[in-house]
Amino acid sequence: MGKAEEIINQLKNLDATVTRLGHIAALLEWDQETYMPEGAVEERASQSALMVGLHHEKIVDARWENLFSELGYDGSANPEGFDDVGTAFLRESYKRWKKQTRVPRNLVENLARETSLAQAAWAGARKADKFSAFAPNLESIIGLEKEYAAAIADNSDADAYDTLLDEYEPGASAGEISTVFDGLAEGLRILMDKIRSGNAPETGFLEKPYDITRQDAFGQRIQNFMGYDIHRGRLDLSAHPFTTTLGPDDVRVTTRYDEKLVLSGLFSNIHEAGHGLYEQGIGQNLRNTLLADGTSLGIHESQSRFWENTVGRSMAFWDRWFDDFKNLFPENLANVDVRSFYRAVNSVQPSLIRVEADEVTYSFHIIIRFRLEQALISGDLKVADLPGAWNDAYRDLLGITSLNDADGCLQDVHWSVGLFGYFPTYALGNLYAAQFTRAMEKDLGPIPALLGSDRADAILNWLRENIHVHGRVYSPGDLCRRVTGESLDSVYFLDYLNGKYAGVYGF
């Protein structure tokens, strides 16, 4: 074994400890959102702060600096003699170490403590429909996030929001995303005008009560069809659906059901399983390293949005599954045919709730949040003014306003847990998904032909071979070019929507 290889092995041993501590911290967070009793919030906040502090301590351990120095690696260029995986491991571990050495442990612990408390405060405020009960927590988190951004920034002039955004979508900037989103919004407005001129589908049968036990049974069947391995994960309920990785063979998803919103539960099952499939498909050679993760949240969202929309809202999917669904709910669907159901599933109607939005208006929800969180971080928007600004933005982009906080600025958990910079990745995921789909169809043929069986193996295998297996080895831009041959372009998403909804609405 050469000296360089020996040093890499030592770095990987350090990283394995960091990775496992991260999984333990994630387990505490998963439990808080699923089974933890309400009275345990204060103690859990202390536990989370301690665990995150230990995690941070291992990341900034002096041995990292010594080993990088021995190797002669300073992050400025690709090292010689390493393959793509080795190069990526050095690049990502050095970048993480360099950032985190600038962050005081007490700041890391304060963030963990405050977000744990804020998450509970958010849940209570949402239930009580009272933003003012959560506002002090949000003020505190924004202050800590700005402090964190200042600590990890490469220079003192760095924009705080861009710094936070880089944590979720490496290499992206708010300016670039704004340009993409402005073009996307314009294309969506044109499409909405066409949809308004078309023939709207009947949706009344989706507004009836659907038994939750049967919803759950069907949702689990679809997750199995997709290929989600329940022996390496589990499905639970939470106030806000999410996916978390507690180890290479422990990728958990959650959902929520409402008897009057049957599609909300089903598409939550599909969406989160899409995330879970990505994590379960990461290469064995990346296990217990920081590369065993999605390369960015935009790429991660491309997987969940692909399964939820490109597959789950397609005619081919319902040609295969409608009879099964109808047999579960004969009281609601006795006189409904598959074409009518498909059109109803793809009904376009501006709505208040992001996670229940159709795929045409969904990106407007993201653009609103992207603009608002930029303003919160910059200080241009005060926390106390958020409910009013939220309603103004919804009136401008979607033509509706919320009559309460629960369906307005309290509907998402993200800001309560400090995820500033996360929201734009949802819309980027839509764009990546459409572009990846075009590349997939070049290799496999039309997706409808792949959905007629009891398994979606051909689709899943393509995603695993081209995207999942690589984890974080490639940057999001490099992965996109590797898979599709070109950089991210919103034209594929707009083409997909225009083609599909011309058929649904007949315009």
Residues 6+ apart with CB under 8 A from 234: 252, 253
Q: What is the average pLDDT across 484-504?
A: 96
Residues 6+ apart with CB under 8 A from 425: 168, 169, 296, 297, 298, 300, 301
Task: Give how far Cα 137 sits from Cα of 44, 99, 144, 410, Å.
Answer: 17, 26, 11, 12
Q: Dump pLDDT digits (tens) for 140-151.
A: 999 999 999 999
Q: What is the average pLDDT across 313-340?
A: 97
Report the alpha-carbon angle 459-257-336, nearest 5.
70
pLDDT higher than 80, residue 461:
yes
Do 279 and 243 touch, CB atoms closer than 8 A? yes
pLDDT higher than 90, residue 356:
no
Q: What is the average pLDDT across 17-40?
A: 96
| Spatial separation of the C-alpha atoms in residues 175 and 370, rounded to whole Å | 11
Structure tokens at 154: 């490469």
In the chain, residues under CATH classification 1.10.1370.30 are: 196-366+396-407+424-505
| Spatial separation of the C-alpha atoms in residues 328 and 263, rounded to whole Å | 14
pLDDT higher than 70, residue 290:
yes
Mind telling me the catalytic residues?
272
What per-residue confidence (pLDDT) applies to 3? 87
Q: What is the average pLDDT across 94-109?
A: 95
| Spatial separation of the C-alpha atoms in residues 263 and 182, rounded to whole Å | 29
Q: Dump pLDDT digits (tens) for 114-140.
A: 999 999 999 999 999 999 999 999 999
Residue among 303, 249, 243, 236 nearest 272 (CA): 243
Q: Which residues of 286-310 are buried (b: 16+ CB within 10 A; e: fewer)?
A: bebbbbbbbbbbbbbbbbbbbbbbb
Q: Dump pLDDT digits (tens) for 302-319.
A: 999 999 999 999 999 999
Task: Write the burial class of residue 129 (CB in 10 Å: 0-12 exposed, 13-18 middle, 19+ buried).
Answer: middle
| Spatial separation of the C-alpha atoms in residues 484 and 392, rounded to whole Å | 38
Q: What's this model's pTM, rounded to 2 decimal places? A: 0.93
| Spatial separation of the C-alpha atoms in residues 158 and 154, rounded to whole Å | 7
What per-residue confidence (pLDDT) applies to 367? 97
One-letter amino acid of 344: A
Topology at the third CATH level for domain 196-366+396-407+424-505: Neurolysin; domain 3 (1.10.1370)
Task: Give how far Cα 106 sits from Cα of 76, 110, 417, Å.
Answer: 29, 6, 17
Element (H, E) at 135: helix 135-152
pLDDT higher than 70, residue 467:
yes
Q: Dump pLDDT digits (tens) for 232-280.
A: 999 999 988 999 999 999 999 999 999 999 999 999 999 999 999 999 9
| Alpha helices per DSSP H over 35-104 | 41-59, 62-71, 84-100
Please identify which residue in the block is written with the tokens 């340009």: 179
Task: Please report, rounded to a whole number, the percentage of residues in the chain having pLDDT higher than 90.
Answer: 94
Q: What is the average pLDDT across 361-389?
A: 97
3-class SS at 452?
coil
Q: What is the average pLDDT across 26-51?
A: 95
The single-letter DSSP state of residue 79 is P
pLDDT higher than 70, residue 1:
no
CB neighbourhood size of 73 (10 A):
20
